[in-house]
């Protein structure tokens, strides 16, 4: 059994990461790609709300790093630490699963608003659409 370790980053850690990023940008390794690696706000261009559940919202966003549309799941409001743990645990489980009917999780992280997940954007029917269609089909079969 593999233990999972979650790290809480301090302001000092963030400062170190920022200084490393700045030194990489100013070094001889400097390429246009390094300029893209800055922050969540810089990486993702927020789009429309495309889904809402009991505890999270899902937004369509554009990923400037990979230059593709993705779905970003964020917890609603200011949740408790228990909700954070549950959200992160669900993300870890989802990331470990591979099946054609499971939306792949690309990444997860933590910003000023709390934890978030980056998933494949699937522009297809929602579960609600599938249920509604099945009910209509069933009702027509009774006619």
Reported as a pLDDT band with limits 50, 70 and 90, residue 58 is very high
Across 117-136, b (16+ Cβ under 10 Å) vs e yields bbbebeeeeeeeeeeeeeee
Whether the pLDDT of residue 5 is over 80: the answer is no
Encode pLDDT of 64-118 as tens digits: 888 999 999 998 887 788 888 888 899 999 999 999 888 899 998 888 778 899 9
Q: Which two tokens stand for residue 24?
A: 């990489």
Distance between CA 115 and CA 91 in Å, rounded? 10
Distance between CA 60 and CA 70 in Å, rounded? 6
Output the pLDDT for position 139.
77
Q: Token match 């009910």: residue?
A: 135
């Amino acid at each position: 059994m593999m233990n999972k370790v979650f790290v809480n980053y301090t302001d000092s850690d963030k400062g170190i990461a920022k200084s490393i990023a700045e030194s990489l940008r100013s070094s001889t390794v400097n390429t246009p790609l390094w300029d893209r690696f800055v922050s969540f706000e810089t990486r993702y261009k927020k789009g429309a709300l495309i889904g809402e559940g009991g505890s999270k919202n899902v937004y369509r966003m554009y990923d400037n790093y990979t230059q593709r549309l993705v779905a970003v799941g964020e917890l609603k409001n200011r949740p408790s630490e228990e909700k954070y743990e549950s959200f992160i645990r669900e993300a870890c489980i989802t990331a470990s699963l591979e099946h054609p009917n499971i939306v792949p999780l690309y990444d997860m992280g933590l910003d000023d608003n709390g934890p978030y997940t980056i998933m494949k954007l699937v522009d297809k029917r929602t579960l609600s659409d599938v249920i509604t269609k099945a009910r209509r089909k069933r009702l027509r079969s009774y006619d």
